[in-house]
Amino acid sequence: MWAIPAGKFWLTKTVLVFAAPDEVVHIYCAMDSIQLSEPISVKAVGRTYDTTVSGFIPGNRQSVLDAIQDMDGKRFVILLLDGNGNYILAGTVFYPLQLLPETNLGKNTADLAGVNIEFNGITITRAIIVDNPF
């Protein structure tokens, strides 16, 4: 999963170009933990989607906690790689997503330890498949 700062990319149909590649944050998540959800709402202004991208970063490391703290309060579009090898882009420059982190610690060694991350926002379009930007 990659978090791209809103406004730091160009998108033409399915071609995604990073305007500031050094600002793109690669987020390692357990592969089976990455999820995309886009429930639809129909309102007087039209259709909207409550877009959520979530994943689990295993382990508790200070470098991860520092990176999450640096991302807090900022807006992003999220690039995912699905199980079929497709790159999926969630959020837009005008309707970005915001990070909502949650740290988990267990009493026992076998308990889950790491950070659940969630990027959430209201969008007016569903996530799209884009060409490999790398």
The span from the CA of 131 to the CA of 106, in Å, is 40
> What number of H helices and E strands is found in the chain?
1, 12
111: confidence class by pLDDT, cuts 50, 70, 90: low
Among 36-40, 64-68, 109-113, name the one with the lowest average pLDDT.
109-113
Residue 20 predicted with pLDDT over 70: yes
Percent of the chain with pLDDT over 70: 93
Task: Find out whether 7 and 17 touch, Cβ atoms under 8 Å.
Answer: no
Q: What pLDDT sits at residue 43?
A: 84
